[in-house]
Amino acid sequence: MEYKVKDQDKVSVKNTLRNDNKTALTIQGLGAFIIIAGVLYGIFNNNIWVFAFPSVVSGIVLVGFSEIIRLLHEINERQKKQSN
pLDDT at 78 over 70: yes
Residue 38, domain extent:
16-83
The reply to whether 4 falls in a domain is no
> Is residue 66 a part of any domain in this protein?
yes
At what angle are helices 22-44 and 48-83 packed, to 10 degrees?
170
Predicted TM-score of the model (pTM): 0.63
Percentage of the residues of the chain whose pLDDT score is greater than 90: 10
* Average pLDDT rounded to a whole number, residues 44-50: 80
Count of structural domains within the chain: 1
pLDDT higher than threshold 70 for residue 7: no
Query: Does 62 reside within a domain?
Result: yes
In DSSP terms, 3 is beta-bridged to 11
Structure-model confidence comparison of residues 68 and 18, the more confident one: 68
Is residue 17 within 8 Å of 27, Cβ to Cβ? Answer: no
Residue 71 lies in a domain: yes
8 A C-beta contact, residue 39 and residue 52: yes
Residue 76: pLDDT over 70? yes
